[in-house]
């Protein structure tokens, strides 16, 4: 067994070794669907690329290494990964989910899996005790997203994991917003971690990919069975791009966090801004939990201009010149979004507003540019 690497080294070397064929330092892009067998059933561990592919294996080992996990599984997208998790369950099973969550996750649960008989309760998890009210002997999964999207609520993973353990329910954490640089949910007691690697892990807005990590061998086998049966797997090129992204995760995240802090403080002091949601602010309602479970506070934040009306927010996002108006997040470039009309349009207005996603809300994914350029851009757009 090799020595366990520290995080920054693991992003570069974790689970990796030079390729056996020619010593290639970077994992080759094995663009192949099938593998030669010497006699029927005799092969070198690979038969067909829906089941396994060496570039995908390299990525699965890499993510396992930086999440302190035993197993990693890669998928065509974050949603394909979540789809696989939800297929562990059967009609009648119940799930308790964070209420303020990624719009696509909400859609998958309410418009696809609802039809197959899964009963899903959406709960504000800022106070873990609230979850207790919904736990019963049919509860199979607690789905946590933290920090939440787009309200930046922080859920106490350790407290929820303890509830899950006590009630024999699995606990899954969507770790997309934090990335393993900021928090490692398995170490806090979670059973499954999901990533939309499309965001911080790949990090360059150039690929769509999903990942899961788990420690339990039986759970890994079940997930791999569904993965291979359903086939929502990534191609080797996307695995390669994600592996390349992970190598600089620690450097990018450090700058995302610094720039996120500077932008949050700038907005907090701006007379035309009413509210700023960033877990690093001491007056953020979950700041203490964030301090406990995260290494820093990330580059995602949301804010509401004074008055909070649709018109003002629309004109701010339209007047931004350096921030690009686009869905998604976690890339090197700064993006601005208007959740009510973009990422969260699939959530009914009443449900949306109950969790704080008002029409005036603007979400920023603060990139790694010179922060003064970002602040000047916001300044002219808000003016």
Ligand X SMILES: *Cc1c(COP(=O)(O)O)cnc(C)c1O
Q: Does 208 bind ligand X (CB under 6 A)?
A: yes
Q: Does 176 bind ligand X (CB under 6 A)?
A: yes
User: Which of 57, 97, 179, 198 forms a contact with ligand X (CB under 6 A)?
Assistant: 198
Q: Does 196 bind ligand X (CB under 6 A)?
A: yes
Candidates 4-12, 75-83, 271-279, 332-340 — which segment interacts with ligand X by CB under 6 A? 75-83
> CB of 149: closest distance to ligand X in angstroms?
5
The site map against ligand X for 145-174 (x = CB under 6 A) is x---x------------------------x
User: Which of 56, 199, 250, 352 forms a contact with ligand X (CB under 6 A)?
Assistant: 199
> CB of 132: closest distance to ligand X in angstroms?
25
> CB of 379: closest distance to ligand X in angstroms?
27
Convert the chain into a string of H (helix), E (strand) and C (coil): CCCCCCHHHHHHHCCCCCCCCCCCCCCCCCCCCECCCCCCCCCCCCCECCCCCHHHHHHHHHHHHHCCCCEEEEECCHHHHHHHHHCCCCCCCEEEEECCCCHHHHHHHHHHHCCCCCEEEEECCCCCHHHHCCCCCCEEEEEEECCCCCCCCCCCHHHHHHHHHHCCCEEEEECCCCHHHHCCHHHHCCCEEEEECCCCCCCCCCCCCEEEEECCHHHHHHHHHHHHHHCCCCCHHHHHHHHHHHCCHHHHHHHHHHHHHHHHHHHHCCCCEEEEECCCCCCCCCHHHHHHHCCCCCCEEEEEECCCCHHHHHHHHHHCCCCEECCCCCCCCCEEECCCCCCCCCCCHHHHHHCCCCCCCEEEECCCCCHHHHHHHHHHHHC
Task: Find the catalytic residue in 19, 35, 50, 206.
Answer: 50
Residue nearest to ligand X (CB): 78
Catalytic residue check, 174: yes
- Using the minimum distance from each CB to ligand X, give the nearer residue, 149 or 313: 149
Task: Find the catalytic residue in 30, 83, 100, 102.
Answer: 102
Q: Does 210 bind ligand X (CB under 6 A)?
A: yes
The site map against ligand X for 93-132 (x = CB under 6 A) is ---------x-xx---------------------------
Tokens 């990534």 -> residue: 234
Candidates 33-41, 195-203, 348-356, 369-377 — which segment interacts with ligand X by CB under 6 A? 195-203
Size of site (CB under 6 A) for ligand X: 16
Task: Find the catalytic residue in 174, 191, 359, 377.
Answer: 174
Catalytic residue check, 199: yes
Q: Write out the catalytic residue numbers.
A: 50, 102, 174, 199
Chain residues binding ligand X by CB under 6 A are 77-79, 102, 104-105, 145, 149, 174, 176-177, 196, 198-199, 208, 210
């Amino acid at each position: 067994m090799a020595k366990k690497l520290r995080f920054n080294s693991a992003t570069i070397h974790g689970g990796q070794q030079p390729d056996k064929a020619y010593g290639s330092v970077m994992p080759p892009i094995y663009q192949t669907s099938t593998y030669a067998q010497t006699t029927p059933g005799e092969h070198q561990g690979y038969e067909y690329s829906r089941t396994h592919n060496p570039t995908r294996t390299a990525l699965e080992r890499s993510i396992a290494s930086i999440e302190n996990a035993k197993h990693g599984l890669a998928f065509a997208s974050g949603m394909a990964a979540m789809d696989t998790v939800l297929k562990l369950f059967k009609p009648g099973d119940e799930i308790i989910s964070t209420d303020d969550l990624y719009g696509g996750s909400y859609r998958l649960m309410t418009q696809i899996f609802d039809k197959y008989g899964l009963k899903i309760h959406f709960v504000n998890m800022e106070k873990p005790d609230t979850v207790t009210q919904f736990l019963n002997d049919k509860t199979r999964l607690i789905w946590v997203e933290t920090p939440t999207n787009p309200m930046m609520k922080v859920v106490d993973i350790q407290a929820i994991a303890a509830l899950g353990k006590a009630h024999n329910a699995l606990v899954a954490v969507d770790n997309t917003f934090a990335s393993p640089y900021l928090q490692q949910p398995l170490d806090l007691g979670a059973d499954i971690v999901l990533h939309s690697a499309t965001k911080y892990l790949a990090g360059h807005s150039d690929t769509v990919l999903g990942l899961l990590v788990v420690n339990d061998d039986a759970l890994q086998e079940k997930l791999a069975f569904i993965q291979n049966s359903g086939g929502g797997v990534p191609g080797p090129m996307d695995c390669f791009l994600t592996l390349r992204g992970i190598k600089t995760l620690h450097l990018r995240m450090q700058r995302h966090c610094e720039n996120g802090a500077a932008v949050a403080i700038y907005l907090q002091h701006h007379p035309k801004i009413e509210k700023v949601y960033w877990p690093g602010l001491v007056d953020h309602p979950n700041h203490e939990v964030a301090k406990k479970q995260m290494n820093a506070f990330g580059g995602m934040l949301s804010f509401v201009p004074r008055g909070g009306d649709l018109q003002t927010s629309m004109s701010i996002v339209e007047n931004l010149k350096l921030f690009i108006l686009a869905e998604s997040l976690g890339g090197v470039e700064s993006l601005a979004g208007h959740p009510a009309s973009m990422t969260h349009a699939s959530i009914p207005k009443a449900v949306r507003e109950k969790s704080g996603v008002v029409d005036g809300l603007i979400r920023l994914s603060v990139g790694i540019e010179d922060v003064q350029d970002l602040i000047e851009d916001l300044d002219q757009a808000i003016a």
